[in-house]
Structure 1
Amino acid sequence: MRGDVGMIERIVCGTDLGPNTSYIVYHAVYLARQCGASVEIVHAVEPINPFGMALFKSYDLNPSTGQATDQILASIKDSVVERLADEYMSGLDDLGAVCNVVIEQGHPADVIVRRANSISADLIVMGSSAGPRHGFSLLGSCTARVLQMARQPVFTVPFVNHEDPGVSENPQMKLW
């Protein structure tokens, strides 16, 4: 932390891009606006398994160069930015405090914590659990692992609206 004024300057928002993403991003952006901070959205992609490598080879892509992987990660990043602009907010102008979208290979908790450390983030924002897809629990396995590994405070957003997880009932969260 860097003093009283601007105590929170950088926020990492970890997401699995599931149905709760908009709700989590809303919280991260709301906090960022209150603090004058920036938000970096982080999504992890599992490393390519042997079957995926075989697919690359069948399309004459050389996975050992990393070029194919880079193309896939860039494509995912483009999709995430489009999705944020189109679905979660009403256009790129409303992304406001979001300064970057990062897509990295690795276990989600490791990627989120590594990224938070690399940019000296002051706060990590993420969902508390995976929601109905994986059964409800107090904390999801990724969130529990981030809480164990992180040096920063972790703000967990509960999954509260089972019908439409992207809609906040709190009028203060109506940012856009």
Structure 2
Amino acid sequence: MINRILFATDLGIYNPYLMSQLSVLAHSTGARVDLVHAIEPMGVFAESILSIYMTPDDQKHLRNSGMPQVMEHIRQQVLDSLKVEIDEMPNKFTISDVIVEIGPPSDIIIKHARQCRSDLIVIGSHSGQGDGEAMIGSVAGKVLRKASVPVYFLPTACLREGL
């Protein structure tokens, strides 16, 4: 029985398609939906830019105080934009929680699937980035390999190719 679904999204170009598929699944099962949006950690380049333009104290303040505020702002924007999308769907459903976290996306998804006690993870095959040659994106592949619950894998290659 599917009581709780974790929907992993990068909010990319395929999100409306993924949301429409999720709405049918959530509506038919009556499951609660938690959404997770992972943000890649800053790379070496971004860190070096910060070190050039910010004092060490400002950098520390940003990490300790500023980033939680930024993350909450992103979380609220995600929730607000998804509510608009959901309201336009024929199969409405409720998002129980929106989780926005910085870290490697596959690790964040797996961690929250466990924490939320998800019965199912819903994820798209690709983010819409890259060259499209791979059958499966790197994040989706890692989630499939690491998940301890079933993964509802939505192919997006057909959308890329206009099929």
| Length-normalised TM-score, structure 1 | 0.76
Larger RCO (CA within 8 A; separation ≥ 6):
2
Change (3 A) 1:75 1:109: same
For the pair 1:90 / 2:84, whether they are aligned, the reply is no
The one-letter amino acid of 1:85's match is K
CA distance in 1, matches of 2:67, 2:57: 13
CA distance in 2, matches of 1:114, 1:10: 15
CA RMSD of aligned residues (A): 2.6
* Structure 2 counterparts to residues 37-56 of structure 1, below 5 A: 37-49=31-43, 50-51=47-48, 53-54=50-51
The one-letter amino acid of 1:63's match is L
Secondary structure of the corresponding residue to residue 96 of structure 1: coil
Secondary structure of the corresponding residue to residue 161 of structure 1: helix
CA distance in 1, matches of 2:86, 2:57: 36
Change (3 A) 1:163 1:140: closer
CA distance in 2, matches of 1:150, 1:69: 29
Change (3 A) 1:36 1:115: same
* Structure 2 counterparts to residues 159-174 of structure 1, below 5 A: 159=156, 160-162=158-160
* Structure 2 counterparts to residues 71-86 of structure 1, below 5 A: 71-86=69-84
* Structure 2 counterparts to residues 4-23 of structure 1, below 5 A: 7-23=1-17
| Length-normalised TM-score, structure 2 | 0.82
Give a deviation string over 1:62-86, Cα, whole Å, max 9, x none. Answer: 035x221101111111111122133
- For 1:134, the equivalent position in structure 2 comes to 130
Among residues 27, 30, 33, which one is paired with 1:36 in the alignment?
30
Cα deviation, residue 122, structure 1? 0.4
- The question of whether the paired residues in 2 share the 8 Å contact of 1:29 and 1:98 is answered with no
For the pair 1:114 / 2:108, whether they are aligned, the reply is no
Q: What 5-or-longer segments of structure 1 have no aligned partner?
A: 1-6, 170-176
Cα deviation, residue 60, structure 1? 4.2
Secondary structure of the corresponding residue to residue 8 of structure 1: coil
Give a deviation string over 1:97-143, Cα, whole Å, max 9, x none. Answer: 31111101110000001000111100000001223x31222110000
CA distance in 1, matches of 2:54, 2:42: 10
Q: What 5-or-longer segments of structure 2 have no aligned partner?
A: none
Change (3 A) 1:56 1:156: farther
Identify, as 1 or 2, the structure richer in helix.
2
Change (3 A) 1:163 1:74: farther
